Amino acid sequence: MSGTTLLWFRQDLRLQDNPALAAAVARGGAVVPVYILDAAGEGSWAPGGASRWWLHHSLDALDAALRERGSRLILAQGDAREVLIGLIKATRTTGVCWNRRYEPAAVKRDAALEKELQAMGLEVQTGNSALLNEPATIANKQGNPFQVFTPYWRHCLEKKVEPPVRTCPETLPAPERWPTSLPLDALELLPKIPWAGGLAETWTPGVAGAVKRLKQFAADAMTAYAENRNLPDRDGSSMLSPWLHFGEISPRQVWATVAQQSRSTGVFPPSNGARVFLSEIGWREFAYHLLWHFPHTPTQPLREEFTRFPWAADPGGVKLRDWQRGRTGYPIVDAGMRQLWHTGWMHNRVRMIVASFLVKHLRLPWTEGAAWFWDTLVDADLASNTLGWQWSAGCGADAAPYFRIFAPVLQGEKFDGAGDYVRRWVPELAKLPATYIHAPWTAPSEVLSAAGVKLGGNYPRPIVDHAKARAEALAAFKQLRGPSAPGRE
């Protein structure tokens, strides 16, 4: 027996494929699972509103799974270091196990805490539950971090993907006396506004929801993923991102399931849909690679010259609020923003469209968009959110050039040709024919009247003109880069 072990849960809220759990059980003796809500320890990136809703239900599911095994989840709130040291004294702990995190504030806190606990004579074991590859282990031929996805992923594919760690024991040894725990409601994670209805309609937080969704996607949608992933009116994407963020399922489990479904024994499944889907897991890995090596990027552009970018003024934040509320007058943009508010999620193609609109049509800072997504996405992930917004703004790694400006009408016509996605999320336009659904201001007055659409009334006119906004964005880019900067659609 090695004494009591504290098992510190963070973004690994599962019992399957959990290296920290495996290490805790292997030590022998009692295991005390604990989750600490430490908002201050997260720096500026404490969980946003939608993430807190998910976290509440995920913690509830984890506690239920632990109780089935004769254990329970101890809940605490406050400074993680102080809470852990208090629990160590109360339980006579001799070891602490946790899975590593990669956000800058967490990295700094964990390094100091591990050193302190070891100085106290405790055994500290940490594991990798969140990624296929540790960011520090991947480098280019010069020994530097990758900044372009394709060579990064090609390099990763040469490495063996480790199988999931076998954990989830039938029972977990309990201590003689459990330490004090807060009730889940005391964490006050649920929203105080009438918002959670749409989230509850859309999601089932917890391991069971993750496993069900992965199996459904692998069986029904993965084969056609390459063709359907850009079509927001279809159930063509995996939608696994929130479960992956909270660690209710791991990328190793995803990889193993896809490989099994593809009936492949090789490193990479052969079907095109599987390859494209797993490359999206690769983009998640790439995001963490960048965050680890460039920890300033959640608030500062990777490309330093963009610190001088001439963003537009927005007195009173009027245009930002129009964008947030889905009242821009561009139906594909508004549909995406309303889907986000209702479900806590947005289709990836539409994320690119709405992000391009904010930073290029409205010329508002990408950090404003990142902050809004952080508060409203159930899958708000610092690495992926940062990569996505810097990609859209043209200021990050492997970024879309700033002069690549998505035309919202053309994007809507290309990826939502029949207008079904817009009709679902912008119901005031539901009766417009497909010819005009993505540009209602071009419809004849009699068509608008027949559809019950009143521009400037129940649906806004465009808050900016596309051609003018594009020209101003290109001028701003040329001001940043010089007169030779190119321009194109």
**Per residue in 256-311, pLDDT tens?**
999 887 765 444 566 788 999 999 999 999 999 999 999 999 999 999 999 999 99
Q: Does 169 reside within a domain? A: no
Q: Does 419 reside within a domain? A: yes
Other C-beta atoms lying within 10 Å of the C-beta of residue 333: 30
Tell whether 74 and 110 lie within a shared domain. yes
Full residue range of the structural domain in which residue 89 is found: 4-129
**374 catalytically annotated:** no
Tell whether 229 and 322 lie within a shared domain. no
| Catalytic position from the list 228, 348, 413, 441 | 348
Q: Where are the alpha helices (DSSP H) in 267-365?
A: 272-293, 318-325, 331-343, 348-356
Output the pLDDT for position 254: 96
> Are the C-beta atoms of residues 110 and 100 closer than 8 Å to each other?
yes
Q: Which two tokens stand for residue 105?
A: 């504030």
Output the pLDDT for position 489: 35
Output the pLDDT for position 272: 87
**227 catalytically annotated:** no
| Catalytic position from the list 8, 243, 292, 389 | 389
Tell whether 376 and 472 lie within a shared domain. yes
Tell whether 62 and 87 lie within a shared domain. yes
First CA to last CA across the chain, in angstroms? Answer: 67
Tell whether 229 and 366 lie within a shared domain. no
Where is the domain boundary, 129, 149, 182?
129
Output the pLDDT for position 268: 55
Higher confidence at residue 162 or residue 168?
162
pLDDT class of 343 with cuts at 50, 70, 90: very high
Which has the closest alpha carbon to 417: 332, 330, 326, 329?
332
Tell whether 124 and 137 lie within a shared domain. no
| Residues with Cβ within 8 Å of residue 248, at least 6 apart in sequence | 13, 14, 58, 61, 205, 206, 207, 209, 210
DSSP string for 364-424 = --HHHHHHHHHHH-TT--HHHHHHHHHHHHT-STTPPPTTB---HHHHHHHHSTT-HHHHH
CA distances to 8, 290, 394 from 81, in Å? 11, 27, 38
| Catalytic position from the list 153, 178, 195, 311 | 311
| Catalytic position from the list 366, 374, 391, 425 | 366
> Are the C-beta atoms of residues 68 and 207 closer than 8 Å to each other?
no
Residues linked to residue 5 through DSSP beta bridges, in sequence order = 31, 95
Q: Does 212 reside within a domain? A: yes
**389 catalytically annotated:** yes
Tell whether 106 and 53 lie within a shared domain. yes
Output the pLDDT for position 342: 97
Task: State the virtual CA torsion across 144, 392, 153, 138 in degrees, nearest 10.
Answer: 30
Q: Does 193 reside within a domain? A: no
Quickly tell me which residue has 């508002």 as its tokens.
364
| Catalytic position from the list 283, 413, 428, 441 | 283
Helix, strand, or coil (residue 458): coil
In the sheet that 4-9 helps form, which strands lie side by side, from edge to edge? 74-77, 31-37, 4-9, 93-99, 123-127
For the chain, the average pLDDT equals: 94
Where is the domain boundary, 108, 129, 150?
129
* Backbone φ/ψ region at 345: left (φ over 0), alpha (ψ -120 to 50), beta: beta
| Catalytic position from the list 280, 413, 428, 472 | 280
Which has the closest alpha carbon to 276: 223, 214, 353, 210?
223
Output the pLDDT for position 394: 92
Q: Does 199 reside within a domain? A: no
CATH code assigned at 386? 1.10.579.10
Tell whether 50 and 147 lie within a shared domain. no
Output the pLDDT for position 479: 86
Tell whether 341 and 378 lie within a shared domain. yes
Which H or E run includes 244?
Answer: helix 241-245
Is the confidence at residue 406, as pLDDT, over 50? Answer: yes
Task: State the virtual CA torsion across 307, 313, 318, 323 in degrees, nearest 10.
Answer: -40
Output the pLDDT for position 403: 79
> Are the C-beta atoms of residues 72 and 65 closer than 8 Å to each other?
no
> Are the C-beta atoms of residues 282 and 156 closer than 8 Å to each other?
yes
Summarize pLDDT for 451-488 with one digit per residue, the tens: 999 999 999 999 999 999 999 999 999 888 754 444 33
Summarize pLDDT for 204-227 with one digit per residue, the tens: 999 999 999 999 999 888 989 999
Tell whether 99 and 157 lie within a shared domain. no
- Distance of alpha carbon 351 from alpha carbon 470, whole angstroms: 19
Higher confidence at residue 6 or residue 273?
6
CATH code assigned at 226? 1.25.40.80
- Distance of alpha carbon 14 from alpha carbon 58, whole angstroms: 9
**203 catalytically annotated:** no
Higher confidence at residue 255 or residue 193?
255
Tell whether 137 and 91 lie within a shared domain. no
Domain count of the fold of the chain: 3
Tell whether 390 and 416 lie within a shared domain. yes
